[in-house]
Amino acid sequence: MKAQVAIEFMLIFGVFLLGITIVALAAWNNIANAEKSSMDFEARRILNLISGRINAVYLEGHGFSIGLAVPEKIGTSDYAISIEKNTLWLELNGVSYTNKLLASNITGSVKKGENTLTNVNGVVVLS
């Protein structure tokens, strides 16, 4: 009788552990998806901020200048920003995000921290 109770207990305990493991894996998967969505949202927000400022400087014309503050990191991850012709690129954790720019004549590069964008005779100067 005692052996049968012990076997039943072990069987019930094993099913309980399996259930707890499945719930934990599902919760971990949801957390990972939420973190990825948050990182994607923040990358897009920064990309839109930078491209919006560059486009505004280009459209306002000669002499217009505006500041731009770019965060050092997205969450805990480092990222890279680059401009090729009229395309703004943001690289984060192996994923590339892009935005088209109105200006194709851009000098300088966007750096993390404080930036100044100036229109000099139709050329957007980043410093």
pLDDT confidence of residue 116:
97
* Domain range for 120: 2-126
pLDDT confidence of residue 57:
97
| Predicted structure pTM score | 0.81
Contact yes or no for 83/101 (Cβ under 8 A) = yes
Contact yes or no for 113/72 (Cβ under 8 A) = yes
Number of structural domains in the chain: 1
- 5's torsion region: left (phi>0), alpha (psi -120 to 50) or beta? alpha
pLDDT below 70 — which residues of the chain? none
pLDDT confidence of residue 6:
84
